Amino acid sequence: MAKHVDARGRDLVTTNGGGFPIKRKVRADGWTRARRQTFLNTLAATCNVTESCRAAGMALRAVYPLKARDAEFAAAWDQAIAEGFWSGRKRRNATREETNAALIKALAEAIGSAIAQGVRGWFPDARMGVDLNRVTALSEDRERLWRQVSGADFLSREEKRGLDGR
């Protein structure tokens, strides 16, 4: 469906009325461009139609007829859902990776501490610790941290290594 603007700058929507194009004004309290954009932005951020309608100030029952009659809006809707799905998936994966790294660190330190406590009776002067740099499962976490630290030009190489734990 083509979109047009009248002489006063109001949106006009071209619809198909029995094979003939009909121009009609978009209601001032209806789906304006700004409301459509708000709806689509919120949909891309949340993948939630109800929340998107609420953000746009429109009723849920009004959005589905709009999607059915406006192919351009329907395509933008599908694109917003796809973008929201993939960006949400990336955020969830990043959070999951951080959680896994924290769990692995905690487990490695707990196991190392338990072993050290267990052998303390036989070797009271021995010092034991866990070298997290040797834990393979944390290599991605260490590489990400090193990339962040190595970008700090105001730190010396030794200071960077100290922050990184190398």
Find out whether 140 and 148 touch, Cβ atoms under 8 Å. no
Read off the amino acid at residue 28: A
Residue 93: the pLDDT is: 65
Residue 39: the pLDDT is: 94
pLDDT string in tens for the chain (166-residue length)? 445 555 555 555 555 555 455 565 656 668 888 999 999 999 988 889 999 999 999 998 999 999 988 889 999 998 888 888 777 666 666 677 777 777 778 888 888 888 888 888 888 888 887 777 777 777 777 777 777 777 777 777 777 767 655 5
Helix 71-119 and helix 60-69: axis angle, to 10°? 120
Find out whether 124 and 109 touch, Cβ atoms under 8 Å. no
Find out whether 39 and 46 touch, Cβ atoms under 8 Å. no
Residue 10: the pLDDT is: 54
Residue 2: the pLDDT is: 47
Residue 1: the pLDDT is: 46
Residue 156: the pLDDT is: 78
Residue with tokens 């007829």: 65
Residue 28: the pLDDT is: 65
Q: 62 Cβ partners below 8 Å, 6+ apart?
A: 30, 31, 53
Six-digit token string for 149: 């630290």
Residue 52: the pLDDT is: 93
Residue 50: the pLDDT is: 92
Residue 109: the pLDDT is: 81
